[in-house]
Amino acid sequence: MTQPLPEATVASRLAAIRQQIADAAATSGRAPDAVTLVAVAKTFPAEAVLEALAAGQRHFGENRVQEGMAKYPALRQAHPDLVLHLIGPLQTNKVKQAVAHFDVIHTLDRDSLATELAREFEKSGRRLPCFVQVNTGEEPQKAGCAPQEADAFIAACRALDLPVAGLMCIPPAEEEPAPHFALLNKIAKRNGLDQLSMGMSSDFETAVMLGATHVRVGSAIFGGRSYPPAQ
């Protein structure tokens, strides 16, 4: 008789994913702590985030500014070392709120946003590390600068004195992700950037093997989302 598996919890899923990340890192000759696991809690309530916090998780991702503002201030009181990553598109009229409530921006993708972030960093005295989002699949509906414009855009961000930490991508859902991760890595290298935000629930191990320093994992930790998040 086989024993029924114990019901997966946020803690047990986190432990399994951390192990998978460590294994993928080891396979490619990298240290396990070279990869930051960003737990994407969008659409899930604060209780789910609390479960992850109890399991030692500190980096969280949200794709909407409003949801981040609503969920995290209370959680930060108890966990001042919580790090909140904005992984969704950022409208220029939300920059002030995003800079006040988030710690890392993964979706810097156009001149108007770069200008507005530079202005807000100057005004607020908060300078958040930024990832430049590259639309590696050149999908018209998707955010991110075009791969062939990335070098110029990174230079423009640096000219504005933005702290560009690295690059981020979301490969097309229906394609092999590996070539997209490799392309992002290549663009980062030639621009002297060493951080890569890439890999989600279905492909984070591949991403780690191709150099990811930040994987953004949601459903594999928190379960299926009951309603689709806004893009």
Interface with ligand PLP by CB under 6 A: which residues? 40, 42, 63, 87-88, 170, 200-201, 216-220
Nearest to residue 139, comparing CAs of 114, 115, 170, 110?
170
Residue 67 burial (10 A CB sphere; 0-12, 13-18, 19+): middle
Task: Between 146 and 152, name the residue whose CB sits nearer to ligand PLP.
Answer: 146
CB of 145 to ligand PLP, least distance (A): 15
Task: Between 11 and 160, name the residue whose CB sits nearer to ligand PLP.
Answer: 11
The amino acid sitting at 161 is D
Instruction: Give the separation between CA 86 and CA 106, rounded to whole angstroms.
Output: 6
Task: Between 100 and 230, name the residue whose CB sits nearer to ligand PLP.
Answer: 230
Task: Between 12 and 124, name the residue whose CB sits nearer to ligand PLP.
Answer: 12
Whose CB is nearest to ligand PLP? 218
What are the helix (H) ranges across 173-217?
178-190, 204-209
- 78 φ, ψ (degrees, to nearest 5): -80, -25
CB of 77 to ligand PLP, least distance (A): 26
Instruction: Give the separation between CA 190 and CA 154, rounded to whole angstroms.
Output: 11
CB of 4 to ligand PLP, least distance (A): 26
CB of 74 to ligand PLP, least distance (A): 22
CB of 229 to ligand PLP, least distance (A): 6
| Both structure tokens of 78 | 């108890």
Task: Between 160 and 201, name the residue whose CB sits nearer to ligand PLP.
Answer: 201
149 CA to centre of own chain: 21
